[in-house]
């Protein structure tokens, strides 16, 4: 908005003492403001500029892997040991520009010294971008890229966090994933299999439940767990309970059907799949079954 338009805008009220009141502040008002005045000799005097920052809350951050958005409901990411991992964290909108930082939280009990891995090798390296030096445009958001030069067994079950800070947030927001580090197999076999497919997608797992998540499960009701695996080439889902066989047979399309669920069916369930000579797994889901006559 130019200077002339601002003078006639109903939102701007000029006071007799030179003060300016802005009603219904908008994002377009963000920027440097300066007062000009003429003295008795008709010389123009300029006051020191004042920076007005109009706060606008950014959207929650999300992660990209190989330029693909990570499904928020499937944060367990399979990755091959010794491979390089490239990540990006994106936050849309916001004013001023959101601040994005990275953290790597190793699984409790992991001894990196026993595996002879240095602290530097365990941490993410943030990739600097020339665009970061440009002047921030309102609501253009923020993007931070980082990489692990090599993924080690020490990273198994590690949580990678992208943390967002902004003046409009009382509590930091984050997007995260869990690493499922897969041991490498014979390199020649892996390359030969991969070359059969023009596009290779590692499995993405989606677990659903009937009745839906959040509905308390009582003994005796009918319950179904469903696992869908999205991969290229296609791979077959296989359920496990507490790292063993499930208590009921699995159907060919990925269902576990409990006709009358019991307390002993409670436990950790996960969906696995073998894909191009590698074993992949979803994040664990705890199935909790309450007593039939238990009160809320």
All residues at 6 or more sequence positions from 248 whose CB lies less than 8 Å from its CB, including other chains: 256, 257, 258, 265
Reply yes or no on whether the pLDDT at 189 is more than 80.
no
Q: What does the alpha-carbon distance between residue 174 and residue 72 come to, in Å, rounded to a whole number?
A: 12
Q: Are 21 and 127 in contact (CB under 8 A)?
A: no
The distance of Cα 60 from the centroid of its chain, to the nearest Å, equals: 9
How do beta strands 62-65 and 99-105 pair? unpaired
pLDDT bin (cut points 50, 70, 90) of residue 190 is very low
Say if CB 156 and CB 279 are below 8 A apart: no
C-alpha span between 64 and 145 (Å, rounded): 9
Mean pLDDT across the stretch 271-286? 83
Q: Which of 2-6, 8-12, 271-275 has the highest mean pLDDT?
A: 271-275
Tokens of 52: 């007005």
Instruction: Give the pLDDT score at 293.
Output: 63
**Structure confidence at residue 237 as a pLDDT band (50, 70, 90):** very high
SS (H, E, C) 143-169: EEEEEECCCCHHHCCCEEEEEEECCCC
Residue 196 is predicted with a pLDDT of 35
| Top mean-pLDDT range of 75-79, 133-137, 156-160 | 156-160
pLDDT band at 109 (very low <50, low <70, confident <90, very high): low
Q: Can you name the CATH fold of 204-287?
A: Immunoglobulin-like (2.60.40)
Question: What burial class does residue 138 get, using C-beta atoms within 10 Å of its C-beta: 0-12 exposed, 13-18 middle, 19+ buried?
Answer: middle
State residue 53's pLDDT score.
Answer: 92
Taking alpha carbons only, the member of 105, 93, 123 closest to residue 161 is 105
For residue 193, name the pLDDT band (cuts at 50, 70, 90): very low
Distance between CA atoms of residues 47 and 53, nearest Å: 18
The pLDDT of residue 184: 55
pLDDT tens by residue, 65-108: 877 787 766 677 788 888 888 899 999 999 999 999 999 888 77
Please, which pLDDT band fits residue 195 given cuts at 50, 70 and 90?
Answer: very low
| Spatial CB neighbours of 119, under 8 Å, sequence gap ≥ 6 | 112
Q: Where in the chain is the domain with CATH 2.60.40.10?
A: 62-182, 204-287
Domain 62-182: CATH superfamily is: Immunoglobulins (2.60.40.10)
Asked whether the predicted pLDDT for residue 134 surpasses 60, the reply is yes
pLDDT for the residue 235: 87
Write down the pTM of the prediction: 0.56
Q: What is the pLDDT of residues 17-45, one digit of tens each?
A: 878 888 888 988 999 998 888 877 878 88
192 CB-near residues (< 8 Å, 6+ apart): none
């Amino acid at each position: 908005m130019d200077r002339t338009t601002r003078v006639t805008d109903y939102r701007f009220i000029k006071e007799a003492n030179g003060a300016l009141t802005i009603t219904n502040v908008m994002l377009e008002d963000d920027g440097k403001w300066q007062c000009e005045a003429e003295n008795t000799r008709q010389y123009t005097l300029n006051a020191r500029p004042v920076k007005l920052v109009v706060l606008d809350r950014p959207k929650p951050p999300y992660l990209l892997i190989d330029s693909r958005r990570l499904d928020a409901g499937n944060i367990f990411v399979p990755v091959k040991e010794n491979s390089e991992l490239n990540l990006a964290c994106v936050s849309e909108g916001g004013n001023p520009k959101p601040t994005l930082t990275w953290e790597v939280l190793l699984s409790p009990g992991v001894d990196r010294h026993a595996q002879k891995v240095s602290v530097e090798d365990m941490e993410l390296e943030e990739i600097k971008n020339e665009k970061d030096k440009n002047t921030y445009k309102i609501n253009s958001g923020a993007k931070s890229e980082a990489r692990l030069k090599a993924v080690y067994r020490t990273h198994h079950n590690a949580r990678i966090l992208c943390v967002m800070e902004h003046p409009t947030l009382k509590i930091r927001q984050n997007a995260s994933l869990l690493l499922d580090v897969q041991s490498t197999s014979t390199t020649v076999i892996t390359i030969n299999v991969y070359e059969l497919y023009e596009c290779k997608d590692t499995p993405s797992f989606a677990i659903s439940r009937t009745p839906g998540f959040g509905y308390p499960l009582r003994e005796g009701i009918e319950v179904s767990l469903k696992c869908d695996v999205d991969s290229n080439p296609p791979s077959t889902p296989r359920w496990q309970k507490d790292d063993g066989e499930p208590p009921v047979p699995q159907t060919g399309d990925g269902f576990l059907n409990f006709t009358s669920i019991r307390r002993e069916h409670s436990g950790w369930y996960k969906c696995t799949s073998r894909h191009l000579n590698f074993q992949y797994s979803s994040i664990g889901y705890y199935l909790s079954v309450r007593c039939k006559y238990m009160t809320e």
